[in-house]
Structure 1
């Protein structure tokens, strides 16, 4: 079996967990993440509780296609589509004026970080789920982000409702995405390179 073949049973269990407001532990195009339905406030609350993360810190949301941006952001600047198209590595863009997401997923100033994910498992999961996913590093707040599945603490593994099988044996580079902030006028700045 190819390492890039997504197991339907694995995908279905992850979907079922998300639909029931649960947390999943899953591989992304950057590092392993804790995920949930980004429109479900109770599920997002569980993410903060598991990570011990301050609620003032916003989370990243994953989508599988930039056509979906307008559903979750008011006034997407045209330059955002160009940045996404030409990005050669994972790029998270922080947009102003988020909408249709759980209130506790959005920053106090109304902004949200969104990444269009390019990853076999995530893309299929997002296409079938038809909602955005929360993606936050699979660690307790203040601890180092895991570079591979084996680095994830037993506390995190025990705190989620489903652990995705896909990608557990792959060694990632452990790099987080580049983060840019873009304002409605199209002006942008790097927050993390």
Structure 2
């Protein structure tokens, strides 16, 4: 059964974050809060963990459209091709924030994603998520946790999330109630921004 760990967003506890990082380094799956919906994540460098997430989602790993949750913009440049000035300015305006940006991937992508030409990048405006990635030292691969309830779509209550997911993951963070609106997805892979999904992130940045 998974651990259930309370972390306060306004002042994430170092020791608690270190616990989460250890679970990730050991190949565990973690459910954690973001600035939008709760996410399911694992260490980007751990193949077995990536395969577990793909199995839970019922998809083939190489076909999965997972996001990379990064700590900041310099973190992003490790995985995407050189970006032009206008793209960089847009990212700087929007991040950290409730956006997923689709960007052209470079050769540093983990081998499981080598066939992909693009990658979805997130820098959430949530201190728990950012601290985890900062302490881990590399991004986590992430996907939203959907709810079977068609009306809700996303679970927002950490205790209910724990109840449902405790046998599938290794740790659930209680970071307070989540949002039930997902991130805005903007495709920047072909130059001009294309909005693929309007979510929580405002389109005023464009």
Structure-1-length-normalised TM-score: 0.84
Q: Distance in 2 between matches of 1:110 and 1:29?
A: 27
Separation in 2 of the partners of 1:109 and 1:141?
29
Bigger shift: residues 7-16 or 144-153 = 144-153
Answer yes or no: is 1:90 the counterpart of 2:95.
Answer: no
Mapped contact 1:30–1:90 kept (Cα < 8 A): yes
Alpha-carbon separation, structure 2, partners of 1:121 and 1:182: 27
Name which of structure 1's ranges 146-155 and 107-116 shifts more when overlaid on structure 2.
146-155
Which runs of at least 4 in structure 1 moved beyond 3 Å after TM superposition?
106-109, 139-143
Give the TM-score of the pair, scaled to structure 2: 0.79
How many residues end up aligned between the 2 structures?
188
Q: Hey, what does 1:172 align to over in structure 2? A: 178
When residues 141 and 173 of structure 1 are mapped into structure 2, their CA distance, relative to the original with a 3 A threshold, is closer
CA RMSD of aligned residues (A): 2.6
Report the counterpart of residue 59 of structure 2 in structure 1. 53
Q: What stretches of structure 2 of length at least 5 have no aligned partner?
A: 1-6, 199-206
1:86, 1:177 → 2: CA distance?
A: 15
Partner of 2:72: 65
Query: For residue 136 of structure 2, what is the aligned residue in structure 1?
Result: 129
Does the residue aligned with 2:11 lie in a helix, a strand or coil? coil
C-alpha distance in structure 2 between counterparts of 1:122 and 1:60, whole Å = 13
Contact 2:35 2:179 in 1 (8 A): no
Cα deviation code 1:33-55 (max 9, x no counterpart): 11111122221111111222354
Equivalent residues of 1:37, 1:134 under 8 A apart? yes
Offset of residue 97 of structure 1: 2.5
State the alpha-carbon separation in 2 of the partners of residues 31 and 161 from structure 1: 19
- Asked if 1:147 is matched to 2:156, the reply is yes
- After TM superposition, the structure 1 stretch with the greater mean CA deviation from structure 2, 108-117 or 124-133, is 108-117
Structure 1 unaligned segments of length 5 or more: list them. Answer: none
The alignment partner of 2:167 has SS state of helix
